[in-house]
Chain A
Amino acid sequence: MEALLATRLISAQHGRALAAAAQAGDEQARNQLLALLARELLPLASALTGGSDEADELLQDTLSRVFERLRQLQEPQAIFSWAKRILLHRFIDSRRLVRRRAEVPLELASFRIAAPPREDVIALREAVTGLARSERALLVMHYWLGLTLAECAQELNLPVGTVKSRLNAALTKLRRKLGEVE
């Protein structure tokens, strides 16, 4: 865990330095920054999209957006959270997901082998896939990213009460789909 935290810290420091250099017009730094962001954001994109090919599209689109708006970033140290927020919002509002790949074409992603999924995992995966994108995003933010309800509310620009009720509604829907309603 400590090693992981140290790696993330180095990553964050590196990202901040690269963001500042990229904003100053250093093309090499900008490309390195986007590569770093790609690696940082792929797990989130993959979790949101159920590990599907859409993760590549979402990531590509997010990086294009970052690429376009890099100069507007006020605090280079916030590069990761800023990019993460862009990714979340572009996932939630799929209408924003336009094909920008010609601007930042990446050679993405292979897939990793996993044990064959169990039937209950498949059922859960399908139930989650059936939820609205905003509900899926909320579940990922809360249960995988570990954000508190207040942090989720801040990310989504919603009142905490709304986030709480949406989370409960999403869990209820899942239980119903899985036949686990008491």
Chain B
Amino acid sequence: MSGLEQRLRELFAEQAGARELRHVTFRKRAGFGWVPSALVAAGTFFVLLLLASGVVALRSWLEGPRPVGAPPPTVIVTPSPPAASTQPPASQDFEKIGIADRPACAVAAAPPLILATFGIGADVSFRCVLHLSRDDGRTWRAQLETENVRAVAVDVRTKSIFAGTTNGRIWRGDFEGRWRLVYETPPGTFQPVVERFAFHNEQIFAAVRGVLVSKDGETWRDITAGLGTFDSDISRRGRFSIVGMTGFAKDLLIAINANLPEVGLWATDGLTWRRLGLPPGSGLPAALATNARVVVLAVDRAGDRQASAAWVSRDAGSSWLRATRGAENVELFALDASPAGIFAGASEGVLTLDEQDLSWKPIATHKPKFVRGLRTSTGRLYVAAWDGLWLYPLSR
């Protein structure tokens, strides 16, 4: 066998192991009789279309001519809306506030305004469509419908909303849902996904193949230089994901999950980057959160692909304590911290951390499935999960 053939063998072996399944879930069972189902669905669709056309024609006849302009965005009414109030609902369990049968991918909120992305059909892997609710999740309007939105943020200070897309764009909108493009990654950037936003020291940060910062939400500056070997063209082509970004004291912390040397936990004061060690023997970072007291890091548990683990640092990453009790058999996908507590979104349910004994406890009887995003705001916890968008009142 020639050298090239041997190298091909090694390359394919490496690539074959480059991906691994975390879990396999089947949500919708189409059944074997999908053809009749499809015919029934198509028939129903046409009947509904005819009815809708009739209603529209009748309305237009009754109302007379309408002003010319852009059609209003689609409004989707959720089946069981919560009360439209800034007070948390009385229930002690989760309430579903998202669009029926749509998985939620990301969420940000400043009640009663909620910004969330929902998958198409049962799927969130290909496309997440941004939706805005201004009435606590009662009604939703689709936004930027041609974009695949991964990251969302609400800036109460400037009354702005932000959306980051998988093609490296940052959109800025107002609370009425009027958007404009404020940043585009340079052409040729490898996998330019805007993964998350963070607010810190009156600045907004965006993770997109590195880190951008903006003071006004309009002009963005790349502060990636100095982060590992990231300046190198070669390293720019590897897989790289910022799985957590949050302020802590004077620094901005980011957690990188990558097959590049940059993997791990990093801190910047806006000028230089420094590497903070990962907990000894831990796996790769999966999520990161901080409050005024602690840094919490979720990692893939080293040597065990079925579960993850959490670590807590009380000295900004210099030393770590393991915090896995109560979360032994779950994977942790998302973290959020606020004065109300530290929350982890898991493969099943949402857990809260007892900072004293470093144990996790479930927060409610309902357990959202495969939590992708968590956000606390005004005494509420918003949970974006495979089985929808959920609201949990934190004020008891």
Contact = CB atoms under 8 A, between A and B. Distances in A.
A68 B28 contact: no
B25 A105 contact: yes
A45 B21 CA distance: 12
A51 B19 contact: yes
The listed residue with most B CB atoms (<10 A of its CB), out of A68, A70, A106, is A106
Nearest to A116: B261
A42 B28 contact: no
Contacts of B216: none
Contacts of B237: 122
B24 interface: yes
Given A46-B18, A113-B259, A122-B234, A106 B12 contact: no
A96 B310 CA distance: 42
B323 to A, nearest CB: 21
Interface string A91-129: 000000001011111111111111011011110110010
A132 interface: no
A51 B8 contact: no
Contacts of B28: 102-103, 105
A107 B370 contact: yes
A124 B11 contact: yes
B7 interface: yes
Size band of the A side of the interface?
Answer: 35 or more
Contact of B15 (A47, A56, A99): A47
A49 to B, nearest CB: 8
A86 to B, nearest CB: 17
A38 interface: yes
A106 B259 CA distance: 23
B122 interface: yes
A46 B16 contact: yes
Contact of A114 (B14, B22, B125): B14
A34 B11 contact: no
A56 B7 CA distance: 25
B34 A174 contact: no
B373 to A, nearest CB: 15
B13 to A, nearest CB: 6
B204 to A, nearest CB: 27
B13 A108 contact: no
Given A51-B18, A101-B123, A175-B4, A140 B238 contact: no
B17 A43 contact: yes
Contact of A121 (B11, B16, B284): B11
A27 B20 contact: no
A103 B20 contact: no
A171 B5 CA distance: 8
Contact of A105 (B4, B26, B234, B258): B26
Nearest 5 CB-CB pairings of A with B = A51-B18, A144-B12, A43-B16, A47-B16, A102-B121
25 contacts: A38-B24, A46-B19, A56-B125, A57-B126, A60-B125, A67-B30, A101-B125, A102-B28, A104-B26, A105-B123, A106-B24, A108-B19, A108-B125, A110-B20, A111-B20, A111-B257, A111-B259, A112-B18, A112-B20, A114-B17, A114-B259, A117-B234, A143-B9, A174-B4, A178-B4
Given A35-B24, A67-B30, A174-B4, 20 more contacts: A25-B32, A38-B21, A38-B24, A39-B21, A46-B15, A51-B14, A56-B19, A99-B126, A105-B121, A105-B125, A106-B24, A107-B23, A107-B386, A112-B17, A112-B20, A144-B12, A144-B16, A171-B4, A171-B5, A174-B8
